[in-house]
Amino acid sequence: MSIAANLHQIQTTIPENVTLVAVSKTKPVSDLMQAYQAGQRIFGENKIQEMTKKWEQMPKDIQWHMIGHVQTNKVKYMAEYVSLIHGVDSLKLLQEINKQATKHNRIIDCLLQIYIAEEESKFGLDESELNEILNSTEYKSLQNIRVVGLMGMATFTENKTQIRKEFQYLKSLFDKYKQPSTNNRQLTILSMGMSGDYQLAIECGSTMVRIGSSIFGGR
């Protein structure tokens, strides 16, 4: 099937309140343009340099989401245009994003990445670290970032019970930390679900799915 057909097919299976991020990492601009022409406006990339090149070449009404692990020293390359950073996993990183956002006189929306998988390799905060960040005076003083939700990646497994358990855990944290809502803390987005598990994620309360291979093919 074509990229446009894949996109339309996926869109029919996603409820209206769930946002689709088309994960286009490693794919050429020509592939992204096919998705763009089919109406897609939100793209997810996991490398800042690659995302920036694509941003330079593509229409300016696209929202670019950084879904990968972010190195502090590279925030400056995307601060001008990035629309949402999914993988924020430290106060230090939030502070750097705040600093770079200030230079561009804007507020950058971020998701805090929570570690929910059983794999060693995945990044993210545990609950006590999440709690510590949200309640720190340093965080509360940041005026050019806004934490708008949480993000997580389930274990890469066929075991649906395991995946469901992890998504339900993330949803429970989301509900628990939704309040209080302040200027820079407005949790409305729960980013969970990829090609293999997005339907399960939606059942568990996801409001944003990040889908790559089911749209663009294997990498």
Ligand X SMILES: *Cc1c(COP(=O)(O)O)cnc(C)c1O
Binding site for ligand X (CB under 6 A): 23, 25, 46, 67-68, 153, 194-196, 210-214
Please, which residues bridge with residue 152 across strands?
Answer: 114
- In the complex, what is the shortest distance from the CB of residue 84 to ligand X, in angstroms, rounded to a whole number? 12
- φ, ψ of residue 55 to 5 degrees: the values are -60, -45
Q: Which residues contact 192 (CB under 8 A, 6 or more apart)?
A: 151, 152, 153, 154, 167, 170, 201, 204, 206, 208, 209
Using CB positions, name the residue nearest to ligand X.
212
- In the complex, what is the shortest distance from the CB of residue 17 to ligand X, in angstroms, rounded to a whole number? 19
Return the number of the residue (117 or 142) whose C-beta is nearest ligand X. 117
Return the number of the residue (62 or 211) whose C-beta is nearest ligand X. 211
Give Cα 197 to chain centroid, integer Å.
15
- Residues 155/118, Cβ–Cβ less than 8 Å: yes
Q: Which residues contact 33 (CB under 8 A, 6 or more apart)?
A: 58
- In the complex, what is the shortest distance from the CB of residue 45 to ligand X, in angstroms, rounded to a whole number? 9
User: What are the CA-CA distances from residue 9 to residues 14, 15, 167, 172 (Å)?
Assistant: 9, 12, 24, 30
Asked if residue 180 has a cis previous peptide bond (ω within 30° of 0), the answer is yes
- In the complex, what is the shortest distance from the CB of residue 10 to ligand X, in angstroms, rounded to a whole number? 10
- In the complex, what is the shortest distance from the CB of residue 153 to ligand X, in angstroms, rounded to a whole number? 6
Query: Amino acid letter at 211?
Result: I
Return the number of the residue (32 or 142) whose C-beta is nearest ligand X. 32
Return the number of the residue (11 or 102) whose C-beta is nearest ligand X. 11
Return the number of the residue (123 or 169) whose C-beta is nearest ligand X. 123
